[in-house]
Amino acid sequence: MPTLTRVFIKTGLVYFLMAMVVGVALAAPTVIHLPQGFAALRPVYFHLFMVGWVLQLIIGIAYWMFPKLSKQEPRGSTALGWLVYGCLNVGLMFRAVGEVLLALQPGVEIGWTLAVAAVLQLIGGWGFIVNTWLRVKER
């Protein structure tokens, strides 16, 4: 299994655990009284689960299992694969922090973090498509 695949999958597992903890925190107010700020975690939960866990698991397995591109670069560009990994994860961290800060302090000019997050994740998504596109071929 390629190193990049292992890193994507292990990072996805960490995000899965984080998403489950946030999910419990979101459900906790039905049992115990928690501050209003916990509602700000709803979009964070969604992004940790979908981008952090699901998308990274899919990308990691696709990088490993899709048909080989060539003998020289069987999985496409490794550098581009690492760029995808970096962009998705840095973008996800900007998103998680930005969502909470924006919800807790709406008057503060922190919305730029969400814009940076979106651009980084867009670059990561396009990078994955570019790196994978030619591997999707007929026999």
**For residues 43 and 46, what is the distance between their CA atoms, to the nearest angstrom?**
5
For residue 52, the 8-state DSSP code is: I
- pLDDT recorded at residue 25: 84
In a domain, 138, yes or no: no
Q: What is the CATH number of the domain that holds 37?
A: 1.20.120
Q: Using alpha carbons only, what angle is made at residue 89 by residues 85 and 94, rounded to the nearest 5 degrees?
A: 150
Among 104, 96, 102, residue whose Cα is nearest residue 121: 96
In a domain, 139, yes or no: no
Q: Which carries the bigger pLDDT value, residue 48 or residue 36?
A: 48
Task: Please compute the mean of the pLDDT values over residues 37-41 and round it to a whole number.
Answer: 75
Ranking 2-16, 24-38, 41-55, 75-89 by mean pLDDT, the lowest is 24-38
pLDDT in tens, 119-132: 999 999 999 999 99
pLDDT in tens, 89-100: 999 999 999 988
Task: Indicate the pTM of the whole model.
Answer: 0.88
Average pLDDT, whole number, for the chain? 90
Among 39, 1, 40, 45, residue whose Cα is nearest residue 21: 45
Whether residue 134 is predicted with pLDDT greater than 90 in this model: the reply is no
In a domain, 96, yes or no: yes
Q: Using alpha carbons only, what angle is made at residue 75 by residues 79 and 73, rounded to the nearest 5 degrees?
A: 80
Range of the domain at 9: 3-133
User: What total number of domains does the chain contain?
Assistant: 1
In a domain, 19, yes or no: yes
What is the dihedral angle through the alpha carbons of 97, 99, 102, 105, rounded to the nearest 10 degrees?
Answer: -70
- pLDDT recorded at residue 10: 97
DSSP run (H or E) holding 93: helix 78-104
In a domain, 119, yes or no: yes
